[in-house]
Chain A
Amino acid sequence: MAITFEIELPAGADLPELSRADLTFYGLDHSGPSYQVRVFFNNPGAGPDTPLTEGEGFVGKFSVFAHGGCFGEEGHCDVRGPVSPFDRRPPHQLVPIARYLTVTGAVRDLIQHEMGSVTVTAVPVVRPSALATADQATDVLTVDQVALHTFE
Chain B
Amino acid sequence: MTVATLPAQRITQAPLSYRKNVKVLRGPQLAVLRSAYSSSMAISDDRGWQHWAGIHGLPLPMYCQHHTELFLPWHRAYLYYFELSLKEFEPTVTLPWWDWSSAWSHQVGFPLVYGEADAGGQPNPLAGGPINALATRQGGQGAPDHTSRSPDDPANLPTVDQVNELLGLGDFLDFQTQLEGVHDNVHVWCGGTMAEIPFAAYDPIFFAHHCMIDRIWRLWQLRHPTAVVPSSLLNEALPPFNITVAHTINVNALGYDYASFSSRTQIGG
Question: Which listed residue (A61, A67, A95) contacts B197, Cβ 8 A?
Answer: A67
Is A65 interfacial (CB-CB < 8 Å)?
Answer: yes
Q: Is the CB of A34 within 8 A of B181?
A: no
B43 interface residue per 8 A CB criterion: no
B133 at the binding interface (Cβ < 8 Å): no
Most chain B CB atoms below 10 A, which of A34, A35, A71, A127 = A71
* In the complex, A55 has a CB within 8 A of chain B: no
- What residues on B are CB-neighbors of A128 within 8 Å? 150, 191
Given A34-B196, A65-B66, A71-B58, CB of A131 within 8 Å of CB of B188:
no
Check if B140 sits within 8 Å of A69, measured CB to CB. Answer: yes
Structural contact, B60 and A129, CB atoms closer than 8 A: no
Residues of the B chain whose Cβ atoms lie less than 8 Å from the Cβ of A99: 181
B223 at the interface (CB under 8 A from A): no
Number of interface residues of B (CB under 8 A): 33
> How far, in Å, is B195 (CB) from chain A's closest CB?
4
A100, B56: Cα distance in complex, Å? 25
A1 at the interface (CB under 8 A from B): no
Asked whether B68 is an interface residue with its Cβ less than 8 Å from the other chain, the reply is: yes
Asked if A34 and B66 make an inter-chain contact with CB atoms under 8 angstroms apart, the answer reads no
Q: Which chain A residues lie closer than 8 Å to B68 at the CB level?
A: 90-91, 93
Mark the stretch among B14-22, B79-87, B100-108, B141-149 that contacts chain A: B141-149
The listed residue with most B CB atoms (<10 A of its CB), out of A62, A63, A130, is: A130
Chain B 138-185 interface residues, beta-carbon cutoff 8 Å to A:
138-140, 142-144, 148, 150, 152, 177, 181, 183-185
Q: Which residues of A contact B58 (CB under 8 A)?
A: 71
CB closest chain-B residue, reference A99:
B181
Q: In whole Å, how far is A86's beta carbon from the nearest beta carbon of chain B?
A: 16
Q: Which residues of B from 180 to 205 have beta carbons under 8 Å from A?
A: 181, 183-185, 187-188, 191-193, 195-200
Partner of A71, one of B66, B152, B192, B198: B198
Tell me the dominant secondary structure on chain A's binding face. loop
Nearest A residue to B197 by beta-carbon distance?
A67
Are B188 and A34 within 8 A (Cβ)? yes
Q: Are B66 and A30 in contact (CB under 8 A)?
A: yes
> In the complex, what residues of A have CB within 8 A of residue B193's CB?
129-130
**Residues 117-135 of A at the B interface (beta carbon under 8 Å):** 127-132
Cα of A115 to Cα of B167 in the assembled complex, Å: 32
* A-B interface pairs (CB < 8 A), number: 90
Interface size class of A (residues with CB under 8 A): 20 to 34
Min CB–CB distance B213 → chain A (angstroms): 12
Residue of B140, B187, B197, B200 touching A63 (CB-CB under 8 A) = B187
Is A3 close to B, CB under 8 A? no
Closest-by-CB residue of A relative to B144 is: A130
CA distance A63 to B178 in the complex (A): 11
Q: Which of the listed residues B62, B144, B181 has the most CB atoms from chain A within 10 Å of its own CB?
A: B181
CB proximity of A74 to chain B, nearest CB, Å? 14
- Asked whether A97 is an interface residue with its Cβ less than 8 Å from the other chain, the reply is yes
- List A17-47 residues whose CB lies under 8 Å from chain B: 30, 33-36
Q: How far is the CA of A142 from the CA of B101 in the complex (A)?
A: 30
* Known contacts A34-B188, A62-B184; A130 and B195 CB within 8 A of each other: yes
Question: With a CB–CB cut-off of 8 A, which chain B residues contact A30?
Answer: 66-67
Do A65 and B143 form a contact, CB below 8 Å, given A30-B67, A71-B58? Answer: no
**Docked-complex contact B138 and A65, CB < 8 angstroms:** no
Indicate if the CB atoms of A100 and B142 lie closer than 8 Å: no
Would you give 15 A-B contacts (Cβ < 8 Å), ordered by A? A34-B188, A35-B188, A63-B184, A65-B188, A65-B195, A66-B196, A68-B139, A68-B199, A69-B140, A71-B139, A99-B181, A127-B191, A131-B139, A131-B142, A132-B196
B contact set with A: CB distance below 8 Å: 58, 60, 62, 66-68, 70, 138-140, 142-144, 148, 150, 152, 177, 181, 183-185, 187-188, 191-193, 195-200, 236
Q: Which 5 A-B pairs have the closest CB atoms?
A: A129-B195, A68-B196, A97-B67, A65-B184, A63-B184
